[in-house]
Amino acid sequence: MFAIERGETEREAATLNERARAIASALERRGNATAAYLRAGAAMFAAVDRVDESLFDRFVSELQLDVGYRGTEGIGWAQSLRLFELDQFRGGADEEAAGAVRIWPAPTGVTGRVVPVTFLRPGTERNQRVIGYDMYSDPVRREAMEQAEKSAQPTASGKVVLAYRGEDAPGFIVYMPVFRGEGVGRRVRGFIYSPFSAAEFLNSALELANAGERGVRLYDGEASPDRLLAQIEPVSGSGVVVQERITIANRPMVVEVESVGSYSLSPLSMLTLLFGLLVASLLLVVARLVTQQAREDQLKLEWLEEQDSIRNSLTRELNHRVKNTLANVLSIVALTRRRSETLDEFADGLDGRIRAISATHDLLTQSEWGTTPVRAVVAAELAPHVSDSGQDFVIAGPAVELAPNDALTLGLAIHELATNASKYGALSVPDGRVSVTWELEGKDIVRMEWIETGGPRLAGRPQGRGFGLDLIEKIVAHELNEKVELDFPPEGVRCTLRIPVRRPSEFAIRAARRRGVVES
């Protein structure tokens, strides 16, 4: 009986640890998904002159968020204003809404800055009540916004009470700054943000990692009663808890899981005790049951250890990918430095190429490093060069998906062509146009053509060789294992790329799970 109860305790402890890790992972995934949406919005709004309601609504609709906004109350935009800009802001609001926006609480001038809620979607009656609320007037929200401005990353606030929820609904807010200008003169235009009701955020994560009848609590920073954000009480508390530290949008939090208390022996222990007292002759049978139970417990413990090994393998794979990316960056830095004559030229070239890698990496991350559509890669690299009219580019071709390395290489090539066109080619004049089309040659080759028209007339192939020309004709050709055709007719640059269509190798653990070897 003692062995059985000890086995039950060890099994529950192992299961409790596993559930705590799973819930922590689910919470971080929910937070990271929202952070990715906010980064996308910040990149989009930084590229326009003005964030109006139609642009914001289009951005939210294109996100195609799932039901419940992934545990958030929605996505909003808050414009950052100085006191002398308040009248202009109210006037702008009058042009777009039926009535002026009332900023509350009334600005006092103590902070010298006002960040009122400008838009918040979905446009429910509850969300509309918060329009005009000056989030900068609250010290907790203000601290989060200032940290986000310093780091230029999504940043979660501490424990707050949402302005329209009431005193019994704590939560937090994730802010992502949107900047105007570059360098020393850069200034925050506003913040794209997501408010979280902590209880709904916790419940949405538990949809991905079920806690059963166990208790779950979410704390801000440290596990103390005054920092409790949300909790789900166990059916009966045992006092046995496991804590996991997590990070939500650069904010440390703690998730605590409590096991279900039991004030009686397990059924098997009761059976062992009863028959042990009544029939000593069943001792051998009872010993066999105990041994079998211990064996099952050991198998489950070994399974949990195997899961830890899988996580370690994933960590090593991540480290490998990071090292490869850093090696690519170092190569780009070295080549850019050798072919740059000034510090500004070096900085601009390096910034653009690293952003090209980053944009394609975001696409690969969204697909979990699976295949990535050609159209998505082209659109991501051309996005910074598209004018308000959107008539600068023609993008057309069938739906084709590329393996991760090929997608990264194509992203660099499109970036170099677009950068050259914006400096010297078709995109440097108002009437210039660029056509990017592709088609399948057979089943395993994509033939893509870049054609510039309407730009300055060319006098033939450039005499000097820059890093962009080397990258396209040598590095891209080498990585794709296909010849790159780069021509310079008078009417504009023409480039033909051939990209192999290769499926990425399937991760071994996923393949085994599909075959039923590993149980989810």
Three-class secondary structure assignment of 48-78? CCCCCHHHHHHHHHHHCCCHHHHHCCCEEEE
Going by their DSSP bridges, the two strands 393-396 and 372-373 should be labelled as unpaired
The C-alpha torsion from 81 through 87 and 89 to 94, rounded to 10°, is: 160
Closest CA to 153 of 113, 111, 191, 201: 191
pLDDT at residue 149, rounded to an integer: 94
The structure tokens 């809620």 sit at 117
Cα four-point dihedral sign 294, 299, 305, 307: negative
At residue 20, does pLDDT exceed 90? yes
Helices (H) and strands (E) in the chain, counts: 14, 17
DSSP symbol at 119:
E
pLDDT at residue 393, rounded to an integer: 86
For 205, list phi and psi in degrees, rounded to 5. Answer: -70, -35
| Rounded mean pLDDT, 53-70 | 77
Alpha-carbon distance of 308 to 347, in angstroms, equals 42
Report field, pTM of the whole predicted structure over 0.75: no
For 246, list phi and psi in degrees, rounded to 5. Answer: -130, 170
Note whether 220 and 148 are within 8 A (CB): no
Going by their DSSP bridges, the two strands 187-197 and 75-79 should be labelled as antiparallel
Cα four-point dihedral sign 73, 77, 80, 81: negative
- What percent of the chain shows pLDDT beyond 70? 79
CA atoms within 13 A on the CB side of 287: 5
Rounded to 5°, angle at Cα 402 from 447 and 499: 30
| Rounded mean pLDDT, 281-302 | 86
Please give the structure tokens belonging to residue 500. 């192999």
pLDDT digits over 188-235, tens only? 999 999 999 999 999 988 988 888 889 999 999 999 999 999 999 888
Q: Would you tell me how many other CB atoms lie within 10 Å of the CB of residue 285? A: 12
pLDDT at residue 273, rounded to an integer: 74
At residue 318, does pLDDT exceed 70? no
| Rounded mean pLDDT, 154-176 | 85
Q: Would you tell me how many other CB atoms lie within 10 Å of the CB of residue 20? A: 22
Question: Cis omega before residue 500 (within 30°)?
Answer: no
Q: Would you tell me how many other CB atoms lie within 10 Å of the CB of residue 293? A: 19
pLDDT at residue 96, rounded to an integer: 46
Helix/strand/coil percentages in the chain, nearest 5: 50, 20, 30
Chain-centre distance of CA 375, in angstroms?
20
Alpha-carbon distance of 113 to 68, in angstroms, equals 32
pLDDT at residue 201, rounded to an integer: 92
Buried b vs exposed e over 252-277: b needs ≥16 C-beta within 10 Å?
A: ebbbbbbbbeeeeebebbeebeebee
Distances in Å between the Cα of 519 and the Cα atoms of 206, 345, 511, 516 are 20, 54, 12, 6
Q: Which residues contact 259 (CB under 8 A, 6 or more apart)?
A: 12, 13, 16, 214, 234, 238, 240, 241
Note whether 236 and 215 are within 8 A (CB): no
DSSP symbol at 116:
B
At residue 310, does pLDDT exceed 80? no
| Rounded mean pLDDT, 391-409 | 84
Alpha-carbon distance of 301 to 311, in angstroms, equals 16
149 versus 356: the higher-pLDDT residue is: 149
- The H or E element that residue 39 is part of is helix 2-46
Using DSSP's 3-state secondary structure scheme, residue 379 falls into: helix
Closest CA to 333 of 309, 349, 315: 349
| Rounded mean pLDDT, 130-142 | 94
Max avg pLDDT among 60-64, 319-323, 393-397: 393-397
Lowest mean pLDDT among 103-112, 140-149, 246-255: 103-112
Alpha-carbon distance of 369 to 363, in angstroms, equals 8
Burial of 399 per CB tally in 10 Å (0-12, 13-18, 19+): exposed
